A and B are shown apart, each in its own frame.
Chain A
Amino acid sequence: MSSRALKGGLFQAGLLFSLAVGFVTLGVLLADVLIDGVGYLDGTMLTEPPSIDPQIAGARPAILATIYLGALLLLFTVPIGVGTAIYLEEYANRERWYNRLLELNIQNLAAVPSIIWGILGLAFLVRGIGLGRVLLAGALILTLLVLPTVIIAAREAIRSVPDSIRQGAYALGATQWQVVSRQVLPAAIPGIATGSILALSRALGETAPLIMIGAVTYIAFDPTILGPFTALPIQIYQWVSLPQPEFKLLAAGAILILLAILLTMNALAIWLRNRYRRTW
C-alpha cells in the first residue's frame, strides 16, 4: 500500500476514533445508569417521598416539582420569547443601533453559565424581593435562563416563512399585525413548538441554578408553587452525594426517570418537526 493511502487510512481511522470515543462513552454511561438504577426503578420510586432508609425512599416530590416547573416554564417562556422574536423579526428596524444591541445581548445571554443564573436568582428573587426558596423562584430563574434559546429558535421559525407570503398579504390591505398574526405566526408555529420543547427539556435538566435558589433541602412532602421544593436533578445530586452505596443506586434510578422525561420531550419535538416540515 502506498504511503499516501496508508496515511489517509490512518487519518480516517483517527477521525472515526474521535467519534467513537464520544458515542462509546455515551453508551457506557447509559449502560452504567441502567444497570445501577433499574433495580430501584419501581413503584416506590415514583410514589414515595425520600427517606433515610433507601429501601422505602422515592422521588415523588422531585418528579412532581419537575413537572410543575415544566408547566410554569412553558407558561412564562413561550409568550415572552415569541413576543420578543416577533418584535425583532417583524417590527424592529435592523439599522437602529439599539435593536442590534438587543440582538447581541440575547446572543450573549444564551451563553451565560447556569450558575450565574443561580446567583441572579439568589440575589434578586430569594433574598432581594424576599420570595424565598420556593418553586416559583426556581421557575422564574429557569425562565430567564432558557428565554434566549427560545427567542433564537422562534426567530429561526419566523424567518423561514417566505417573504412572498407577507408581500401577498400586505398587497391585499392587511395591517402589519394582521400579516403577523394571520400568516406568519400560523406558518411558524411548528418551528416555534419544536424549539420551545427542546429548550424546555434542557431547562429541566439544569441543577446549578436550583441549588442556588435553595432546592437542596430534604423535602418529604409534595411541592407547592409557593413552598419549598426539590426537583429531579437536585434529588439526583443529593442522593449521589450521600455516602451509602444504596443511595448511589437510587440516584441512578432517578436518572433513568429524568432521562425518560427528556427523551419523551425530545422525541415529541422531533416528531413535530418532521410532521409539519413544509416545503415551500
Chain B
Amino acid sequence: MTTIDGTRLIEIETPPEEDFDRREAIFRVHDLAVAYGDAVALKDVRLDVYKNSITAFIGPSGCGKSTFIRCFNRMNDLIPSARVSGDVLYHGKDLYASDVDPVEVRRRIGMVFQKPNPFPKSIFDNVAFGPRVLGMDKDLSGRVERALHNAALWDEVKDRLKESALGLSGGQQQRLCIARALAVEPDVILMDEPASALDPISTTRIEDLMHELKRDYTIVIVTHNMQQAARVADMTAFFSVEVSPEGGRRTGILVEYDKTSKIFTTPADKRTEDYVTGRFG
C-alpha cells in the first residue's frame, strides 16, 4: 500500500478488510490515565482491542505506549509510584478491581519484552517455568514441546533442551520467550517492541510468527517501526506527546485509533499524518 503523499511503503499483502465493528472486544479501555508520582505519563486513553487481531501502538519515544501496554497485564503494579486510573475491562471485568489478583491476570495475558530475557536455566526449564509456578504440572514435556512448536523454535532446539538458554542467538532467545509465554495457554499476548533488538531476518520470522499466532491468540504490540505496524497490524493506535505550556511537562495521549490501512493512507488527524509520512517523530 502507499501512503497519502504517494510514497510507497513496502508492498505487502494487506489482510482482507474485516468488519471489526462486529468483532468481539477483548479489552475495553476507558478514560485511562497513568501517573508516576506527580508526573502524568499518559491520559485520556480510550480504545478497544478485538479478539484474534493484532493491534499496534505506534508513536514517538516518550509517548507512553510501553506504559500503556503494561496496563493490560498489571505490570505497572511493580512500580511503587505508579497510579492507574480509569477502566481496563477484560471480557467485561475490570482488571483493576480491588479483588482481582494480578497473578490470575498475568496467567491469561502474557508478555514478551523488548530485550529477550531468558532465565539463566535450561531451555526446557525456561518454558516449563510458567506452568510449574501456576500449578499446571501435568504433561509438562508435552506442554513444553507444543509451546516450542507454536513459537517456531522446536526444530532448532529439540536436541538440546537441557542446554542453557543463554547459548541461543538473539532471535532464538526471543522465540524462546514467546514459547515461554505460550506455555501457560494465555488468551492475549502483549509484545513490547519484540523485534527492536533483533536483526532483520529474525525480525521477519517474528512477524511471520505473529500472523500465525493471531489465529489462536489476541496480540497487542508496541513498535517504533512504522513499517512493521503496517506489515502486521490489523488495528493501529497512534500516540503522541503533549507538552504542557507552563511546566514543560510531557504527557502521552492517544491521537487516533483505526484500521491500519486507514491510519497509513487516510489518517483523520494531522498529527498522525505528520508522523506516518515521516515529517516528525
Contacts and interface: CB of A to CB of B under 8 A. Distances in A.
Given a CB threshold of 8 Å, the question of whether A touches B is answered with: yes
B180 interface: yes
A175 B129 contact: no
B117 A172 contact: no
A179 to B, nearest CB: 9
B12 interface: no
B115 A173 contact: no
A226 interface: no
Given A93-B80, A164-B113, A175-B103, A169 B184 contact: no
B195 interface: no
A187 B184 CA distance: 23
Task: Bin chain B's interface residue count.
Answer: 20 to 34
A174 interface: yes
A174 B75 contact: no
A95 B103 CA distance: 25
Interface string B86-105: 00000000000000000110
Contact of A168 (B80, B107, B117, B184): B117
Contacts of B103: 173-175
Interface string B112-151: 0101011110000000011001100000000000000000
A166 B181 CA distance: 14
Looking at chain A's contact residues, the main secondary structure is: helix
B78 interface: yes
B80 A167 contact: no
Contacts of A166: 78
Contact of B120 (A94, A174, A278): A278
A28 interface: no
A175 B115 CA distance: 22
Interface in A176-195: 178, 182-183, 187
Interface string B234-266: 000000000000000000000000000000000
21 contacts: A93-B80, A95-B80, A162-B117, A164-B113, A165-B119, A166-B78, A167-B75, A167-B117, A168-B119, A168-B180, A170-B106, A171-B75, A171-B113, A171-B181, A172-B130, A172-B134, A173-B104, A173-B106, A173-B184, A174-B129, A187-B120
Interface of B: 73, 75, 78, 80, 103-104, 106-107, 110-111, 113, 115, 117-120, 129-130, 133-134, 177, 180-181, 184
